[in-house]
């Protein structure tokens, strides 16, 4: 059952319900019964929730036509400002209303009873559907536009009368371009459709979730109607869905692949989280599923990998980087995001580590030394991950790999976004916070921890716990001088049952890609990647308390968290022998940061 504070329940009963575990908070003022399917509840009551949160708005675009969210769970509103609100899988998008909108009031019925809502009129939502760069407009299918045009002609008594009515409404709102496009569809019969564009089929765990096409200037995403959960949601018109965008190569791999166009950015077929993108729909099931085989814990001793290595190695005429780049010549070699040199690997049941090519599952990531002053980066990252684990954070399993040919050691990381074995039937997807917030990967250093918390609250199935972990991770990033704790180095894990209609769990992901950036040349003054309490440097305990207040965390809880993290990190440092000079420098920075925060 859905509960709206002030309408269906008072705040005292809500507090009691949360304390006794009977209610789950979705966001401030909105709660559901703990035994209910929260995502289904939000979808069924989407219009009531929108009216509760935004009483001065009206339904627009396809939502006004459908009187419901779109199949991919977007609800479009118009109001006084632009806004985007995520409530688990439901996304409410509000666009700034024009000067003279034309609306009407309709009565709907949802599981809680009757409700009166405002929506744009038929001719006004017809004009809305032609707005460029509008998600509400782009969500209106062509066949629905044609149907609305026919209804307008019938209601107006003729084509010319319908065109005049559209122009009057368009002029009143400054929508000349929209009125011209609306007139063209009414006055010009549809011709034979142009030849279809090349289509890329997108699948998740072997099931098609949608298709991508590019017309030379913009992307088009067509989701597939499905009863199951899907991690891919529609993004801004003309752009790739944020989740797909977050998977694409960047940094070193992008330079290796050298895409000549926007279309060539999707040069592979296999991506993280069991996503397959291919022009051949048969590949969605034919390419291997990524499932853990050999466990790193079984082939590691005191942080060192003790299995067999059959991965890329230098030869007399090629460097390790050349050999790694050569792996990506095959389109079936999994693609990775991130700026570092990386190789997708498979750890088999017998402990052999090989490239994840052909029909091998992609289970582990090999991160060798990038050189150029960063030779000891894998050792520093391993030290940071070990410290995170000592501080109580769930952390990606990892081990140091001795590389052939007298090369510097590499770091091997076990994937946590895939099934843990053949008997595991869950569907798992990892979505970084750039994708969750709907921003481009290039904007990963923009924003604040508080903004991440706001986005996390909208998607997490246990928001209060996850936001506390987020703040703890921010404190930890400051303590170890991690200047790369940006939007792509934090994520949520979405988990659905094999036949689940929704994600049963959406939680903050384990720690990964943590590194003391200040230990390396040229980065000695590196600040936090995202601001906290308006600052990126010289943070004190008071700054974390202020940020905690914004994030809804009690000051006592923040102080306890800071003290606990400092104590755990100090205990971890006692007697710890640095593996190399850079690690020793990192440990010295940690000690200084612990003292500065405690002061």
Q: Tokens 């924003």 identify what position?
A: 447
C-alpha distances (whole Å) from 21 to each of 7, 13, 35, 404 are 21, 12, 10, 55
Nearest to 403 by CA among 520, 312, 511: 312
Taken in order 329, 334, 339, 342, the sign of the CA dihedral is negative
Based on DSSP, count helices (H) and strands (E) in the chain, helices before strands. 20, 25
**The three-state (H, E, C) secondary structure of 310-327, written as one string:** CCCCCECCECHHHHHHHH
**Per residue in 346-387, pLDDT tens?**
999 999 999 998 899 999 999 999 877 899 999 999 999 999
Q: For the chain, what is the radius of gyration of the CA atoms?
A: 26
Share of the chain above pLDDT 90, in %: 67
Q: Is the pLDDT of residue 332 over 70?
A: yes
Q: Is the pLDDT of residue 432 over 70?
A: yes
Share of the chain above pLDDT 70, in %: 98
Tell me what pLDDT residue 195 has: 54
**Per residue in 491-503, pLDDT tens?**
999 999 888 888 9
**Per residue in 248-268, pLDDT tens?**
998 888 888 888 888 888 989
Q: Tokens 């419901």 identify what position?
A: 68
Tell me what pLDDT residue 505 has: 93
Q: Is residue 14 a contact partner of residue 5, using CB atoms and an 8 Å limit?
A: yes
Tell me what pLDDT residue 190 has: 59
**Per residue in 73-107, pLDDT tens?**
899 999 988 888 888 889 999 999 998 999 999 99
Element (H, E) at 124: helix 122-128
Instruction: Kindly list the strands in the beta sheet with 2-4, ordered across the sheet, starting from the edge strand earlier in the chain.
Output: 2-4, 30-33, 23-27
Q: Is residue 70 a contact partner of residue 84, using CB atoms and an 8 Å limit?
A: no
CA dist., res. 286 & res. 200, Å (int): 15
Residue 394's pLDDT band, with cuts at 50, 70 and 90, is very high
Tell me what pLDDT residue 554 has: 93
Q: Is residue 583 a contact partner of residue 376, using CB atoms and an 8 Å limit?
A: yes
CA dist., res. 75 & res. 135, Å (int): 10
Mean residue pLDDT of the chain comes to: 91
Element (H, E) at 388: helix 377-390
List of long-range contacts for 49-53, beta carbons under 8 Å, 24+ apart: 49/2, 49/4, 49/87, 49/90, 49/92, 50/75, 50/77, 50/92, 50/117, 51/115, 51/117, 52/4, 52/7, 53/29, 53/85, 53/92
Biggest CA-to-CA distance, the chain: 87
Apex CA 229: angle with CA 464 and CA 364, to 5°?
A: 80
Residue 11's pLDDT band, with cuts at 50, 70 and 90, is confident
Tell me what pLDDT residue 376 has: 94
**Token pair of 485, please?**
């704790």
CA dist., res. 264 & res. 279, Å (int): 13
Q: Is the pLDDT of residue 217 over 80?
A: no
**Per residue in 443-475, pLDDT tens?**
999 999 999 999 999 999 999 999 999 999 999
Partners of 492 in the β-ladder: 431, 508
CA dist., res. 494 & res. 506, Å (int): 5
CA dist., res. 543 & res. 438, Å (int): 27
CA dist., res. 556 & res. 545, Å (int): 9
Residues 182-220 as b/e (b if ≥16 CB within 10 A, e otherwise) read bbebbeeeeeeeeeeeeebbbbbbeebbbbbebeeeebe
Residue 316's pLDDT band, with cuts at 50, 70 and 90, is low
**Token pair of 440, please?**
């481009």
Q: Is the pLDDT of residue 310 over 70?
A: yes
List of long-range contacts for 30-38, beta carbons under 8 Å, 24+ apart: 30/2, 30/3, 30/4, 30/5, 30/87, 31/2, 31/3, 31/5, 32/1, 32/2, 32/3, 33/1, 33/3, 36/1, 37/501, 37/502, 38/88, 38/461, 38/502
Best mean pLDDT range from 184-198, 222-236, 505-519:
505-519
Tell me what pLDDT residue 500 has: 80
Tell me what pLDDT residue 88 has: 85
CA dist., res. 42 & res. 52, Å (int): 13
Tell me what pLDDT residue 599 has: 62
Which runs of E-coded beta strand occur in 88-173? 90-96, 103-110, 113-120
What one-character-per-residue DSSP string does 339-363 give? SS--EEEEE-TTSEEEE--TT----
Phi, psi of 124 (to 5 degrees): -75, -40
């Amino acid at each position: 059952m859905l509960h709206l504070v002030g309408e269906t329940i008072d705040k005292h009963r809500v507090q009691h319900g949360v304390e006794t575990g009977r209610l789950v908070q979705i966001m401030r003022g909105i709660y559901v019964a703990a035994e209910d399917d929260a995502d289904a509840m939000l979808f069924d009551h989407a219009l009531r929730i929108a009216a509760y949160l935004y009483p001065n708005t009206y339904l627009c675009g396809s939502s006004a036509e459908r009187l419901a969210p779109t199949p991919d769970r977007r609800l479009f509103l118009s109001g006084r400002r632009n806004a985007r609100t995520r409530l688990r899988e439901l996304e409410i998008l509000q666009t700034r209303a024009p000067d003279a909108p034309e609306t009407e009031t309709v009565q709907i019925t949802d599981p809680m009873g009757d409700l009166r809502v405002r929506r744009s009129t038929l001719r006004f939502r017809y004009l809305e559907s032609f707005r460029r760069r509008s998600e509400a407009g782009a969500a209106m299918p062509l066949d629905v536009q044609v149907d609305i045009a026919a209804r307008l002609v019938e209601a107006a008594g003729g084509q010319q009368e319908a065109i005049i009515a559209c122009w009057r409404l368009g002029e009143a709102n400054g929508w000349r371009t929209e009125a011209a496009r609306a007139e063209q569809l009414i006055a010009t019969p549809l011709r034979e459709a142009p030849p279809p564009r090349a289509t890329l089929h997108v699948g998740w765990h072997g099931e098609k979730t949608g298709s991508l096409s590019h017309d030379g200037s913009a992307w088009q995403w067509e989701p597939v109607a499905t009863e199951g959960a899907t991690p891919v949601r529609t993004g801004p018109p003309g752009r790739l869905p944020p989740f797909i965008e977050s998977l694409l190569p960047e940094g070193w791999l992008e330079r290796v692949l050298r895409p000549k166009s926007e279309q060539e950015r999707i040069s592979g077929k296999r991506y993280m989280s069991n996503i397959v993108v291919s022009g051949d729909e048969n590949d969605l099931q034919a390419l291997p599923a990524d499932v853990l085989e050999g466990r790193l814990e079984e082939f590691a001793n005191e942080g060192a990998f003790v299995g067999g290595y059959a991965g890329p190695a230098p030869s007399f005429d090629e460097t390790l980087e050349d050999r790694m780049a050569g792996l990506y010549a095959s389109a079936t070699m999994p693609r990775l995001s991130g700026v570092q040199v990386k190789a997708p690997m498979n750890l088999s049941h017998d402990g052999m580590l090989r490239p994840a090519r052909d029909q091998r599952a992609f289970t582990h990531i090999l991160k060798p030394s990038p050189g150029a002053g960063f030779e000891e980066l894998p050792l520093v990252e391993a030290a940071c991950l070990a410290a995170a684990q000592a501080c109580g954070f769930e952390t990606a399993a990892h081990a140091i790999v001795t590389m052939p040919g007298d090369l510097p050691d590499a770091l091997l990381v076990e994937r946590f976004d895939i099934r843990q074995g053949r008997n595991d039937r869950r569907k798992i997807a990892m979505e970084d916070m750039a994708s969750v917030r709907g921003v481009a990967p290039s904007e990963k250093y923009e924003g604040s921890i508080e903004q991440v918390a706001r986005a996390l609250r909208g998607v997490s199935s246990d928001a209060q716990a996850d936001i506390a972990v987020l703040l703890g991770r921010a404190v930890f990033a400051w303590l170890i001088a991690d200047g790369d704790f940006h939007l792509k180095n934090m994520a949520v894990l979405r988990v659905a049952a094999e036949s689940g209609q929704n994600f049963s769990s959406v939680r903050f992901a384990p720690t990964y890609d943590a590194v003391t950036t200040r230990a390396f040349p040229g980065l000695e003054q590196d600040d936090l990647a995202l601001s906290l309490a308006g600052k990126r440097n010289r943070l004190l305990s008071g700054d974390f308390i202020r940020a905690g207040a914004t994030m809804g965390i009690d000051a006592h809880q923040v102080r306890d968290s800071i003290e606990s993290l400092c104590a755990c990190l100090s205990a971890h440092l006692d007697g710890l022998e640095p593996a190399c000079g850079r690690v020793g420098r990192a440990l010295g920075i940690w000690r200084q940061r612990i003292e500065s925060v405690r002061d």
